Amino acid sequence: MDLKTQIDLPRLPKHIAVIMDGNGRWAKQQGKPRVFGHKNGVQSVREITEACAELGVEYLTLYAFSTENWSRPAFEVNALMTLLVETVRKEIKTLMDNNIRLTSIGDIEKLPSKTQKALKEGMHATKGNKRMTLVLALNYSSRWEIRNAVQQLSSKVGRNELKSEEITDAMISEHLATKSIPDPELLIRTSGECRISNFLLWQIAYAELYFTDVFWPEFRKNNLYEAILDFQNRERRFGKTSEQIVTK
Ligand code: FPP
């Protein structure tokens, strides 16, 4: 039986988040510059977006550029920004044809104006689409958004609109960049690195983590199906005991 048909669709993760890693090392293995890896990574973005939409995943979040990535060589940063502009422009039609909404999390206003423009156009064009939401994390880091949330909430406390003891988990979630997005249930990181790298730290409190050695440019639909099957074979206890978990 192929992997896709083994997936239990009613138990699909609603939200999958991916740390796309290994583009540079994959390119190096081929004797090519790092940017070659990023360019090939776009095909994986396409495949995984398509696979998630076909299965019925509601949200797919891709970590495309972190606040720390600015410290890479300028040439690589520029190439990544150009690739983003080109990809978003090229893929708008496919997103429309597949009823996929594009959105973003991160400090977008600090991206180069061309990148912002392409992104905003893509988000505007697809805003009515309902089948799946593709979230690009761009100039994003968890500490950035948690700091923002703390600043916003403490300002409310300062203006006497809120008492500090009234602050709830839900209120914190509401002040994060992901405010209208459910928490991811499955987080995948490619390339053999077992780190979270400042990604969705608050939101992954109960996510299942899946690490694979496959480099991002080689990550294909079957690799995604393997990750989902692995997720479905785990027991998600949310702090309870096995006996308390009601199984169907
Ligand atoms: C990590 O590999 C990858 C990135 C920082 C960028 C990911 C970008 C793309 C796949 C291209 C465009 C994306 C979209 C959403 C249009 P790395 O460079 O850290 O690889 P390394 O760890 O092997 O050095």
CA atoms within 13 A on the CB side of 183: 15
Residue 65 belongs to a domain with what CATH number?
A: 3.40.1180.10
Structural domain count, the chain: 1
Q: What stretches of 56-197 show up as alpha helix (H) in DSSP?
A: 74-97, 113-126, 142-158, 169-174
Query: pTM of the full predicted structure?
Result: 0.95
Give pLDDT tens digits along the chain (248 positions): 799 999 999 999 999 999 999 999 999 999 999 999 999 999 999 999 999 999 999 999 999 999 999 999 999 999 999 999 999 999 999 999 999 999 999 999 999 999 999 999 999 999 999 999 999 999 999 999 999 999 999 999 999 999 999 999 999 999 999 999 999 999 999 999 999 999 999 999 999 999 999 999 999 999 999 999 999 999 777 888 888 876 54
Catalytic residues: 21, 69
DSSP per-residue codes, 110-131:
GS-HHHHHHHHHHHHHHTT--S
Question: Which of 18, 19, 23 maximizes ligand 1 atoms within 8 Å of its Cβ, making it the mutation to test the pocket?
Answer: 23
Question: Within a domain: residue 163?
Answer: no
Domain that holds residue 65: 11-140+183-231
Question: Within a domain: residue 175?
Answer: no
Question: Within a domain: residue 159?
Answer: no
Q: Which of 99, 87, 13, 86 is nearest to 46 (CA)?
A: 87
Q: Which of 224, 246, 237 is nearest to 6 (CA)?
A: 224
Q: Please tell me the residue having the least CA distance from ligand 1 atom 8.
A: 64
> What are the tokens at 1?
């039986």
Distance (Å) from CA 107 to ligand 1 centroid: 18
Question: Within a domain: residue 147?
Answer: no
Question: Within a domain: residue 241?
Answer: no
Contact 106, 68 (CB under 8 A): no
